[in-house]
Structure 1
Amino acid sequence: MKRITFVFFLAFILVGCKTQQHEEQQLRHSTSNSPDQHDLAVYFPADGSTAYYQGEGNEFASYTLQTKYIDASSIAQIENNGGVTLLKVYRMTDFAIELVYMEAVDEIPTLASAQEIATLPVIEIILQQPLEVGRRFNGWDIVSTTASMTTEYSTFHDVIELRKKTDNLTTSKYFAKGVGLVQTKDEMLTTNGESVIISSTLQKIE
């Protein structure tokens, strides 16, 4: 009788160990498959860089874009098109790039701390995972994740192409790893049925 009891006790321990090992394996698997919090930061240019965009179709479509990393999950950009200078602050979460601050500034602004940025409300979602064709967020459709684009600066592959349609306006945005925004294009259909295109395309990064 004691031998039978010992056998059942040993079997119970072995089953418990296997169950625990299986749960640990599942946890490791789910952790390894979860998106890295800062993966989306690859869709920004380097810290301290200045990007130059060539505009067409509008005098203010050309602009410069200075990038400053506040910390690993907070990035500020100063956009100057010759008419207005905008300070934009972005926050990286597990699944999205969030625009949380946008104001016109007259000079080099004082940037908020990472702690302050963490409390700001979301103004707009810029990119959202999963980055898959057919996905939609805030009216933006992901129409390609493998696009190629050649600019004066370089040729880019695996470009993320976003598109949004509202009434007579179609806006497209193109993002590439390591540089961020490559091009923005607005195509407007006038009341006469004519198409007007305004674009800003990455020219160089210093």
Structure 2
Amino acid sequence: MKKIFLILIVLATVTSCNLTPGEPSEEVPELTIEDYYPIIENAKYFYEGKGNEYATYTVFVDYVEGNKIQTRTNNGGTETINVVEIEDGQLRLLFTRGETYFRHNFLNNEYEDGKILLKEPLEVGARWDYDEDATAEITDLSKEVVTPQGNFEAIEVTIDGEYTQIINYYAKDKGLIKTLSFTDDFEVSSTLSSVEENAPLMQTITLYYPDVDGIHLNTIDVPIEFNTNDQPEDVIERIIKDLSVYEIISPNTKINRLEFDENNNSVHIDLSNDFIAEMNAGAGFEAMILQSLTNTLGQYYGVENIYLTIEDGHYESGHIIIEEGEALIVNFDNINEQ
């Protein structure tokens, strides 16, 4: 069974004040969730694991909007999306989605209350319900933790479930530096080993394009990169246009919208009028261009149905009409073997 370890980058700040006789005492500020949660865009966090092959993982921040953050965890077995939110003195995990190898902003979806990861007041003995089967408690505010990056004093949060105990350690200016997981049979640890700044998310997209024989489709694997908050329509449009020799979309065509529909497991792409006006292809080659676009998006998003519109209207050229609500279907039958 794959173990998906959620990454939460949280910082601990401990404030003290020195008093001189005769000076009025100053109130010590209370620790808050914000003290423990810096958001570093375009940074990649590397965690070294022991006890399980999936305990080693990396974390990248996909999107940040207001008080919500979307992270991507890659443990070598799967890529997992997590959406967390800071609100009302709580850090909550709102959403988790495994097997997510494509780029999509999940921050604007509607979510339930989620799991509470940290809760104010941040003090030893603070307890809360983690979920219906587990409770969480702050068990230490200055636990010494040894990591490849050095020794840190960390906040210790212990989560006790029916069969598993998880202990998370958060250090000032570092966030989550270590996770321990215990059951009757095993102990697993994940420890922060390094942080790489200005490191975009690197992926690969397979571009499909018509062969000169007018019958088959060819493929080429193209590296793509995303910085935090980059939108997939912008990156994919640029990559396709950079490979202009394949002419899947014309130089003036714009991707107005590119949306993943989780409920229907499909993708909707809306293009500018230039896609039809500048195509300059017969009926057969036009069909191959449409199939190339369909296969490219279908493989990247892992879906079979692609919905294509032009300026929010149905697709209609001199050769092909695609009615509103009609899907283009991914088809790999006529692909040239590389």
Aligned with 2:116 (options 101, 108, 125)? 125
Q: Is the 8 A contact 1:140 1:162 kept in 2?
A: yes
Q: CA deviation at 1:94?
A: 3.0
**Number of residue equivalences:** 163
> Separation in 1 of the partners of 2:71 and 2:51?
24
Aligned equivalent of 1:86: 80
> Separation in 2 of the partners of 1:34 and 1:201?
28
The one-letter code of the counterpart of 2:65 is D
Q: CA deviation at 1:171?
A: 1.4
> Separation in 2 of the partners of 1:169 and 1:106?
26
> Separation in 1 of the partners of 2:147 and 2:97?
29
Q: Is the 8 A contact 1:43 1:181 kept in 2?
A: no
Aligned equivalent of 2:127: 136
Runs of 4+ in structure 1 deviating by more than 6 angstroms, as ranges, are 33-36
1:171 aligned to 2:166? yes
User: What are the superposed Cα offsets for residues 7-53 of structure 1, whole Å, 9 maximum, x if unpaired?
Assistant: xxxxxxxxxxxxxxxxxxxxxxxxxx7987x725x334522211011
1:204 aligned to 2:194? yes
> Separation in 2 of the partners of 1:175 and 1:144?
10
> Separation in 1 of the partners of 2:180 and 2:30?
33
Aligned equivalent of 1:180: 175
Q: Give the fraction of aligned pairs with identical amino acids, expressed as a percent.
A: 26
Change (3 A) 1:184 1:112: same
Change (3 A) 1:104 1:133: same
User: What are the superposed Cα offsets for residues 128-186 of structure 1, whole Å, 9 maximum, x if unpaired?
Assistant: 111100110120111011112120023222x1101122344321111123322111111
Aligned equivalent of 1:189: 184
Q: Is the 8 A contact 2:180 2:188 kept in 1?
A: yes
Aligned equivalent of 1:148: 144
Q: Give the SS at the match of 1:60.
A: coil
| Contiguous gaps of at least 5 residues in structure 2 | 1-28, 130-134, 197-338
Change (3 A) 1:34 1:141: closer
> Separation in 2 of the partners of 1:134 and 1:86?
31
Aligned equivalent of 2:70: 76
Q: Give the SS at the match of 1:58.
A: coil
The one-letter code of the counterpart of 1:197 is E
Q: CA deviation at 1:107?
A: 2.2
Q: CA RMSD in A?
A: 2.2
1:55 aligned to 2:49? yes
Change (3 A) 1:56 1:34: closer
Shifted more, 138-147 versus 99-108: the winner is: 99-108
Normalising by the residue count of structure 2, what TM-score does the alignment of the two structures yield? 0.45
Normalising by the residue count of structure 1, what TM-score does the alignment of the two structures yield? 0.71
Q: Give the SS at the match of 1:39.
A: helix
Q: Is the 8 A contact 2:163 2:183 kept in 1?
A: yes
Change (3 A) 1:104 1:132: same
| Contiguous gaps of at least 5 residues in structure 1 | 1-32, 191-195
Q: Give the SS at the match of 1:132.
A: coil
The one-letter code of the counterpart of 1:74 is K
Q: Is the 8 A contact 1:44 1:181 kept in 2?
A: no
> Separation in 1 of the partners of 2:121 and 2:95?
24
Change (3 A) 1:185 1:80: same
Q: CA deviation at 1:110?
A: 1.2
Q: Point out which structure has higher relative CO (alpha carbons under 8 A, 6+ apart).
A: 1
Q: Give the SS at the match of 2:55.
A: coil
> Separation in 1 of the partners of 2:90 and 2:78?
27
